[in-house]
Amino acid sequence: MNQLLKRVPPRAWIAAFLVLSAAIYVGNTWSPSSYAIMLRRLEAPDDGRVDGIPRSIRSDEWAVITPLTQATVNNGLKRYNATSYYQEDLRSTYSMPILDWGLAFKPSMWLYPLVNAAYAYSFHHFTITVLFLFGYALLFMRLGMRWLPAGLLSVLLFFTGFTQTWWTTIGPNLAYYPWLLWTVLWEGPLRVRVPLFYWLAACCMLSSFYPPLLIPLAFVAVVLLLAFAPSTLRRPRPLIGFAVAAGLACLTAVLYLQDWLRATLHTVYPGLRRVGGGDFQMDRLLMMVFPTSRIHRHEPLITWTNICELSVVGTFYFLMIPCFLNWAGLGRAWRQGRLRPVYFLLPAFLMMAAWLWLPVPPWMGMPLLWNQVPPSRMAFAFGFLFLVMGYVIAEQSGMVLSPLRVLVFSAVVFGAWYHFKLSLHGLGLWESRKDVAIIIPVAIGLVGTMMGRFRGHDAHPLLLGSAAVIAVATFASFNPLQRAWPIFNRPQTERLRNLDITAELAPDKRLVVGGYEGALLNGLGYRSASHVLPTPQVEYFHRMMPELSEARVNEVFNRYAHITLTNSLEPHVIGPDAVAVPVRIFQTPRERERWIVFSPSTRAPPPQSPPAIGEREAGFVDDVRLEDHALTIRGWAPWVGLTGRQGLKIYLSHPAMEASLESEPRPDVMAANPGQGFSHNGFVARLTLPPELPLPPAEALRVCVVAVDQDTGDAMHLRFSGDAAAAPGPGVECPPSAPLQTATQAP
């Protein structure tokens, strides 16, 4: 039996492992999505989470890419989103499983036309993970590395902060990239390599079209060829073949995305940005050497950024190289010419470092198209090049494991923990164990070497393996393990039933509801006014608001935009990719007339009528939530019918900037109060608190809601329902007397 097993080639074992892994992963519809955030908001009985924590910071995925994928599936995999209020083109910077000729260049999405979308979604994520891990391992082997360090480097690169925090957005780009270089370095027939290179290059660009990432990766690819395979660039036939294939791949991407490219070419954002170098903060350089020094539990310890923007290709391996390098061996390797690749890698490394940290003007980056690349978007390419260069230097010079060197390395690691965690933030050793855990495998390697278990030349793979193990332990927990079944198989919840009723009663079944980010509502099948528009809809919004000048409409809407509903009278820009749009342009005339006013006070005038209809209490506040600077109040008021004489007065113990009021169906209230005419009495009020002011603790925020019906003269204080009263959060308080001071829209 043992002899039979030994005859099985390694490739067969690898294939069997991949098939078994795919059966488990895809069979369970696993994915790294954070969509559980939305499923919890919908109060779904199963949020699909298997392990880990869904990350709200990954909203590009759970609020945009995944909902747009849902919308594509709901739309029958067609190009134009017929389920959307805006009927937008689904060909954009985000790759969707559209059933057209572009699907030939999206192999990870080939299952969508064949199986339930949950399995196809899982297969997509499994495929790009395998492509990344095996692609970089095979590329490193083509660059002359042995299989063990090549595999360890691939794992190390996968479990860096940058790769994991951006994985659900640009993972496909990073996964296809090593295969392009491998194809060029492969010794197979040119008639096979050139078409394969063309197809892989088109796959890379159409998997997520993001030039600021692709441009520096192309630069690094040329540098690696100069360093490790210069003969490839000296032979005219292969050089011309691959150049033509690259040009055709670019042309393919442009042809496929031509409508989106035309629409976004002259936008305010992203448009034709021209950037210079120099805004890559030193905190990021620090995290390249000490990967967790400026973060704790995957959250930044500094206030100027978020975890995604802060992340880099960081690993303790970069610190190990100067601490354990055989410096005498470095001199010998240099004299013997074994560091020849560094002659090309080092100048390229310095050029990229200059773009990252020096105030280089945009025109100097123009020849390499770097003036299209914000320095933070060069982080992966720079870290990848640094990793390859570091390995070459360490491998050719040799590494030495000795008690003194381990002591120096440990002192540096503990010193970094003491300064950046304990001294600055009071985080003890156990809380910051990931900052110092690298010392354990390094110490084990030292003990094994001293006991004769390892030989001297094993020091380098031992150190590389130690760095890879700690990288997995540190960053593997960033993305959760999430089942995709509840993502693509709509759960039945009370919240969704209410949304269904709201959409059913609305003209054209449009859903005018705020509080849901990005494309979440459209992903669930609604013709939602709140949405994300990768392609600008300038003409549409100008038709909806003809009173605005053409220049103003262009300034606000000529951009990639998250459409957020507001009660303000005019649209305005919230951020580079977010626009607040007046809810009135989507509402019926009667809905538009219902009003909301607010005051920075919790002292309201006494009610003008008792809060009861017959023997039933009339109206409640069912839920008050404070998330970031957004306050959402949900409940129902004793309004009969729907008129412009009805509204809310909200008294708040904290200043607010603006507010919006939406109707929400309440079949529970109608069933409990038959014959009362409560058909439009549910409401959702949203208030935006000033971002420049510090937020009070949620439990200290006091709210008073008064429902007004000017036809009947009623003004009734709405009390907390039982569930809301028991929940922690803002409280309701309505002491007597205080005039209303401010209003967003007069009643």
Question: Tell me: the pLDDT tens digits for 479-533?
Answer: 999 999 999 999 988 889 888 887 887 778 888 887 788 999 999 999 999 999 9
Confidence of residue 675 (pLDDT cuts 50, 70, 90): low
Q: Which residues of 174-189 are buried (b: 16+ CB within 10 A; e: fewer)?
A: bbbbbbbbbbbbeeee
Q: What is the mean pLDDT of residues 194-220?
A: 95
**CA–CA distance, 119 with 25 (Å, rounded to integer):** 9
Encode pLDDT of 387-412 as tens digits. 999 999 999 999 999 999 999 999 99
pLDDT band per the 50, 70, 90 thresholds, residue 583: confident
- Could you tell me what percent of the chain has a pLDDT over 70? 91
H helical segments located in 549-695 = 550-557, 589-593, 667-672
What confidence category does residue 735 fall into, taking pLDDT thresholds of 50, 70 and 90?
Answer: very low
Q: Are 672 and 742 in contact (CB under 8 A)?
A: no
Neighbours of 28 (CB within 10 A): 16
- 363: tokens are 């025109």
Question: Taking Cα atoms as reference points, which of 541, 400, 704, 505 lies closest to residue 86?
Answer: 541
Using CB atoms within 10 Å of the CB of residue 729, give its burial: 0 to 12 exposed, 13 to 18 middle, 19+ buried. Answer: middle
Kindly tell me if the per-residue pLDDT of 611 is higher than 70: no
Q: What percent of the chain has pLDDT over 90?
A: 60
Residue 95 has pLDDT above 80, yes or no: yes
* Residue extents of the structural domains in the chain: 10-54+91-475, 492-585, 590-732
Distance CA 696, CA 231 (A): 65
Helix axes 161-185, 459-475, angle to 10 degrees: 130
Best CA proximity match to 380, nearest among 488, 183, 219? 219
CATH of region 590-732: 2.60.40
Is residue 725 scored above 50 in pLDDT?
no
Chain segment 124-165, per-residue pLDDT in tens: 999 999 999 999 999 999 999 999 999 999 999 999 999 999
